[in-house]
Chains A and B, each alone.
Chain A
Amino acid sequence: MPTTCQFDSKTGDGIAVRARVRHGTAFTLDVDLCLPGRGVSAVFGPSGCGKTTLLRCVAGLTRPAPGRVVVNGDTWHDDGAGVWRPTHRRPLGLVFQEASLFDHLTVQGNLDFGLKRVPAAERRVALAQAVELLGIGPLLARRPANLSGGERQRVAIARALATSPRLLLLDEPLASLDAARKAELLPYFERLSRELGIPMLYVTHSLDEVARLADHLLLLEAGRLHALGPTAGLLARLDVALAHGDAAGTLIEGTVAALDAADHLMHVRFAGGVLQCVQAPGTPVRAPGQPLRLRVQARDVSLALSPAADTSILNVLPATVRSLADDGPAQVLVALDAGGAALLARVTRKSARALALAPGRRVFAQVKGVAVLD
């Protein structure tokens, strides 16, 4: 067991969690891990894998035995040293799956609840800032019962932020919302991590949310740590079950190189060259030089041995096959290296045989669809 968790050796920042939770004779959670002390870390896995239990252990709502929680040098729980701080003495914010607002208070009353209990000297997030960030100014006088699901969740997030938490815990904050509300809320989370610099632990079972938000990814399986690392790297790993769903795909980080106003296309430069992406109507216009996250799904990538001249596909990238893995009886998942960027391609076993795909083989990846994430 690591006695210290210094994810960043320069600052000494890091979040150490050692937690064992028993339910009857079975373990619901048994982990000992170290997460970065900044940015968004997603906790991902199927239902019942212990994601929420892990979050509750960090929050102190469940007491692991043995357990140890150290957040950026601040010990919240350490059985070895006899330290146990109950939830209300931990400087954290928690957003539950259902907003859990106090029905007897107005929105303003809910926001003030936590704020009032934090000494003025420890306040770093101004309430006005949280209200503005989440766009809930017009709701302040309303009662929680009269809010929509998305509004309730935004108030819950602002309420947590108002306590100036040193760690924000989010337990599937979008799971109870429909697709439209999710789309409405996701940008707020992106702004949170960028503008306030509060580290976040984000529990989700949506790969979409992981790709959009997470810098770091923690995979849980049956209560145990399955994999842990930077999101882009983990998404491209074939030995991680993540790659084998329908939603399998990789994350590409790039910068806007040029805007093609005539064709409504955006050219994004990344490690492996340039990708042309569609500028979806209604999305903000990007400035050249702006960093961007793209997502390329495995089902949108096909392979060829030579670049086709007459094709409708705009993005054809030279790449090298890194490895292959079975993906069901008829298909194969191919991991590619496109000039340092990772790509996944899902092709039929028959095609893989016809192209003699093997590690080291040079191919051309034809990318049919690219999603712009933020």
Chain B
Amino acid sequence: MLDANSLAAIRLTIELSVLTTLILLVLGTPLAWWVARGRSRWRSPARALVSLPLVLPPSVLGFYLLVALGANGPLGQLTQALGWGTLAFTFWGLLIGSIIYSLPFVVQPLINAFESLGQRPLEAAATLRAGPLDAFWHVALPLARPGYLTGAVMGFAHTLGEFGVVLMIGGNIPGATRVISVQIYDHVEALEYAQAHWLAGGMLLFSFTVLLALHLTQARQRSP
């Protein structure tokens, strides 16, 4: 059914997607909070920057990342100074690329969730003796849960289907950077259509199922 290469690609892809999603949920929370509720005049540029990966071709994103992560790039010099070598064409380089590539899919739902909260629940919490951090943990976060669910599902599903950025900065190293989408490409190049069918069909089915589950959950939350 699935050959060793395909299985390795599946495992790698899932690892990459899970890590990317988790990191984005953690880093995206303060970013989304600041964009949604801050007073800085840098919020609008930040908002545009967050949605940039939606419209840029993955090759553009990948190109700049490659330059930045390379031996002479700023990130590359930093990682070398830290003794990690350069990250281009490694799993960690791929992870950085995925985080940027999937950023809007996680952060945008969080921004929406924090915006739709309004001021009132936090004011009510303050009148009930909850300080700002207390109110964030015990009121804002639980109320924003639908946003976290959407962000997690969208971020995971989107990272799963990443192709262009991977090719640019990760290449095609089995077990290290060869993800499902690249593996499908390889199968097709090698005219292994049966293998390509298994992987492509599996992706299609998985993505559809996940999105269907998300929409059903959202519909249930809207009409309790």
Contacts and interface: CB of A to CB of B under 8 A. Distances in A.
Contact of B127 (A118, A146, A160): A160
Interface string B101-128: 0000000000000000000110111111
Interface string A161-197: 0010000000000000000000000000000000000
Contacts of A93: 127
Contact of B130 (A96, A101, A113, A143): A113
A266 B156 CA distance: 74
A315 interface: no
A26 B139 CA distance: 35
A113 B132 CA distance: 14
A61 interface: yes
A145 interface: yes
B128 A159 contact: yes
Interface string A97-120: 010111110000000011001100
Given A87-B123, A96-B120, A96-B124, A104 B143 contact: yes
B128 A114 contact: yes
B224 interface: yes
Contact of B129 (A61, A101, A103, A114): A114
Interface string A138-151: 00000101100000
A interface bracket (residues with beta carbon within 8 Å of B): 20 to 34
Contact of B126 (A86, A98, A101): A86
B38 to A, nearest CB: 18
B121 A100 contact: yes
Contacts of B138: 113
A59 B124 CA distance: 11
Nearest to B123: A61
Contacts of B224: 143, 145-146
Interface of A: 59-61, 86-89, 92-94, 96, 98, 100-104, 113-114, 117-118, 143, 145-146, 159-160, 163
Interface of B: 120-121, 123-132, 134-135, 138-139, 142-143, 145, 224
29 contacts: A59-B127, A61-B126, A61-B127, A86-B126, A86-B131, A87-B123, A87-B126, A87-B127, A88-B127, A88-B130, A88-B134, A92-B127, A94-B127, A98-B120, A100-B120, A100-B124, A101-B124, A102-B124, A102-B125, A102-B142, A102-B143, A104-B142, A113-B138, A114-B129, A117-B130, A117-B134, A118-B129, A146-B224, A160-B127
